[in-house]
A = this chain, B = another copy of it.
Amino acid sequence: MSEVIVPVILSGGMGTRLWPASRRTRPKQLLNLVDDRSLIRATVDRINAVSPGTTPIIVTNADHADAIERDLHGSGPDDPVLILEPVGRNTAPAVAVAALEIIAARGDSLMIVLPSDHTIANEAAFATAIGHAAQIARDGYLVTFGITASRAETGYGYIKVGEAISGAARNVAEFREKPDQDTASEYVASGDYLWNSGMYLFMASRYLEELQLHAPDIAAKTREAHAASTRSGTRISLDADAFSVCRSDSIDYAVMEATSSAAVVPTNPGWNDVGSWASLWEISDKDNDGNVAMGNIELADVTGSYIRGDHKLIAVVGLDDVVIVDTPDALLVTTRKSAQDVKTIVDRLQAENRPELS
């Protein structure tokens, strides 16, 4: 059975930890951080390549509609369908409205849910994993993709694998929150844990059934918001009254951890969530000193660093493992180790309503 898998790409958030490159009006997924394409364009191109099928659905902040439409124009024969959220309500509602739209537009189908800001180096491995996932998703499983944990990363959630289902697919024994360093080391040593990638594959109907079962309030509000949505060309604007009163929750909390139909397909496709400047350093080409230097950069006695500027000369002397990102109105200087803590600064700027976030 060769069957279409509808790509659903979640494009919420600004990518706080990639400030000052990412901004409210220019979120991470719209930046050319890795190559000459935005992350969201690369995501669409990738899924078109590894699982050619139907036009993707993008669920995004209404404010980003124009920018995303421009960015994705020409990625396929038709422009993607945009489902526009009046406010962000996390992933459980976003996936629900996409599932409802798929069923309404073309009848029940497999759907693959992808964040808009991940990179995947090995497309063949990814395609294989999608094949495994599709097989059991047709049997009613809600499948998540678990990434081989190659280091004791504390920035990701983990999935403990259970018994085999068929082929590579396993039951999910347990979802685990972001661990501390010791726990992360134990997870990796045990070999029983995978990183939770935030990518999912299931039948649209099965997701809605499990959502109805475990989060009926979200199921109800998203049905209302989708039913009362307004349409213009390829844009679907969710009803603001219904959607804004919907509870905010993640697909993991609301559905995946609650359902008895969760499955995981382990895979190692060179996945990176581009979650911070440190993870961007990981996936970037480096010089002999382990530096990534973009712009007008002069280095002396510098190793393991990520330095991103523009026209202005950036001179760095005698530092290791630092991150320097210069933009016209804001400069960030931190370390790869502290790259997660950029959030502290962004929170402060947010509280003060500072222009350097916009």
What residues of chain A have their CB less than 8 Å away from a CB belonging to chain B?
Answer: 20, 298, 300-301, 309, 312-319, 322, 324, 326, 328-335, 337-338, 341-342, 344-345, 348-349, 354, 356
Instruction: Evaluate contact between A313 and B330: CB separation under 8 angstroms.
Output: yes
Chain A interface mostly helix, strand, loop or mixed?
strand
Q: In the complex, what's the smallest C-beta–C-beta distance from A17 to chain B, in angstroms?
A: 10
Find out whether the CB atom of A334 lies under 8 angstroms from the CB atom of B319.
Answer: yes
A224 and B301 CA atoms in complex are apart in Å by 46
Select A348's contact among B298, B332, B341, beta carbons within 8 Å: B298
Question: Shortest distance in angstroms between A308's beta carbon and chain B's nearest beta carbon?
Answer: 12
B331 x A331 contact (CB < 8 A) = yes
Pick the contact of A333: B314, B328, B344, B354 (CB < 8 A). Answer: B314
In the bound complex, do residue A300 and residue B345 qualify as a contact, i.e. CB atoms below 8 Å apart?
yes
CB distance from A35 to the nearest CB of B (A): 25
- Whether A345 contacts B317 by the Cβ 8 Å rule is yes
Chain B residues with Cβ below 8 Å from A338 are: 301, 317-319
- Say yes or no: A333-B312 contact (C-beta < 8 A), given A300-B341, A338-B301: no
For this chain, the copies found in one complex come to 2
Output the least CB separation between A106 and chain B (Å).
Answer: 47
A313–B332 Cα distance when bound, in Å, is: 8
With A298-B345, A341-B301 known as contacts, the answer to whether A331 contacts B317 (CB < 8 A) is no
Given contact pairs A312-B328, A317-B334, a sample of 13 additional A-B residue pairs in the complex whose CB atoms are under 8 Å apart? A298-B348, A301-B338, A301-B341, A312-B331, A313-B331, A315-B330, A315-B332, A315-B334, A317-B341, A319-B334, A319-B335, A319-B338, A326-B331
**8 shortest A-B CB distances, which residue pairs?**
A318-B338, A317-B334, A313-B330, A300-B344, A315-B345, A313-B356, A316-B333, A314-B331
Q: How near does chain B come to A264, taking the closest CB pair, in angstroms?
A: 34
9 contacts between A and B (CB under 8 A): A313-B330, A313-B356, A314-B330, A314-B333, A315-B333, A315-B334, A316-B332, A317-B333, A317-B341
Asked if B333 contacts A20 (CB within 8 A), the reply is no
CB of A277, distance to nearest CB on chain B (Å): 10
| Residues of chain B with a CB closer than 8 A to A354's CB | 313
Residues from chain B with a CB closer than 8 A to the CB of A326 are: 331
Q: Which residues of B contact A20 (CB under 8 A)?
A: 313, 315
Which of A300, A329, A332, A341 has the most chain B CB atoms inside 10 A of its CB?
A300
Contacts of A316 in B (CB 8 A): 332-334
Query: In the complex, which of the residues B315, B322, B342 contacts A319, with contact meaning CB atoms closer than 8 Å?
Result: B322
Residues of chain B contacted by A324 (CB below 8 angstroms)? 331, 333
Q: Is A342 a contact of B317 with CB atoms below 8 Å?
A: yes
Most buried by B among A298, A324, A345, A349: A298
